[in-house]
Amino acid sequence: AQTVTQSQPEMSVQEAETVTLSCTYDTSENNYYLFWYKQPPSRQMILVIRQEAYKQQNATENRFSVNFQKAAKSFSLKISDSQLGDTAMYFCAFMNNNAGNMLTFGGGTRLMVKP
Amino acid sequence: DAGVIQSPRHEVTEMGQEVTLRCKPISGHDYLFWYRQTMMRGLELLIYFNNNVPIDDSGMPEDRFSAKMPNASFSTLKIQPSEPRDSAVYFCASSSHSLAGGYSYEQYFGPGTRLTVT
């Protein structure tokens, strides 16, 4: 079974600065996907970014980028130019697309962006 | 598309009562997932369907929980009888792994149903 670990329960960052959220996972699979989801106070789960394990290039989406280290089984999220609207819970998630496409979530990191 | 639709958004019920949560997935999506979120256990998968067929229900807590998907546009999660420990936010999500729906693999979540059992 896969496990996903987010070692930072809470983090804070000043507005306009950069913050990195950590995520590690454990799997014996070679073909999988990784995701970061954002959950603001509205509780809506919003997809932030995805990474296919077979791609060496790190995914980027505007101010969001990942550092995917396959050998280390690490998948960190970097938020540049942090904005107040980035305040939310962030969940790292793993999908083994050879085993049903279900997501395994980490415990989440609560990010507070301070003005 | 309106996205994944869930109803009700909030449900308060008394212990022992039957609760039915509803979900309409995104049109064309062939996978549907039910998740539960609690402070203690985080986000956990309860059950998922592929083309309306239940594939894995190993996450369903116990026989009090049941889920159905009678057609491609509707699913229900039923708890009978409900207990206070069932209080949680229940999410429905859908995704597409077919040519017709567009291969994407991302799961799109509904707004969730906050269930409180007193």
| B105/A105 touch (CB, cutoff 8 Å), yes or no | no
Q: Provide the shortest C-alpha distance from residue B80 to chain A (in Å).
A: 25
| A108/B42 touch (CB, cutoff 8 Å), yes or no | yes
| B112/A97 touch (CB, cutoff 8 Å), yes or no | no
Q: Measured in whole angstroms, how far is the alpha carbon of residue B109 from the centre of its chain?
A: 10
Name B71's bridge partners: B74
Q: What percent of chain A has pLDDT over 70?
A: 98
Token pair of A57, please? 């290039």
Pick from A37, A102, A107: which is nearest to B33 by CB? A102
pLDDT in tens, A41-93: 999 999 999 999 988 899 999 999 999 999 999 999 999 999 999 999 999 99
Q: What percent of chain B has pLDDT over 90?
A: 84
C-alpha count within 13 angstroms, C-beta hemisphere, residue A35: 23
pLDDT in tens, B25-39: 999 899 999 999 999
pLDDT value at position B105? 78
Average per-residue pLDDT in chain B? Answer: 92
∠ CA B64-B67-B70, nearest 5°, is 145
B25 and chain A: CB distance < 8 Å anywhere?
no
